[in-house]
Amino acid sequence: MVYLTLNYDAETILLPIVDRRFDEEIIRLYHESMDTRIIRGKKAGDSRTGRHLLLHLNNSGADILAAGSSDWIVFPRSKSYQEHESYFLHFIIHTIFEELKGHDSLDPRRFDSWVAQRHSQIEKGELIFIAKQMDLLARIPET
pLDDT in tens, 52-92: 999 999 999 999 999 999 999 999 999 999 989 999 999 99
Indicate the pTM of the whole model. Answer: 0.89
Strand 72-74 relative to strand 128-139: parallel, antiparallel, unpaired? antiparallel
Per-residue pLDDT for the chain (143 aa), expressed as one digit of tens each?
999 999 999 999 999 999 999 999 999 999 999 999 989 999 888 999 999 999 999 999 999 999 999 999 999 999 999 989 999 999 999 999 999 999 999 999 999 999 999 999 999 999 999 999 999 999 998 87
Measured CA angle at 100 (ends 89, 43), to 5 deg:
100
DSSP-assigned states of every residue in 56-90: HHHHTT-EEEEEEE--EEE--BTTB-STTHHHHHH
Q: What is d(CA 126, CA 80) in angstroms, rounded to the nearest whole number?
A: 8
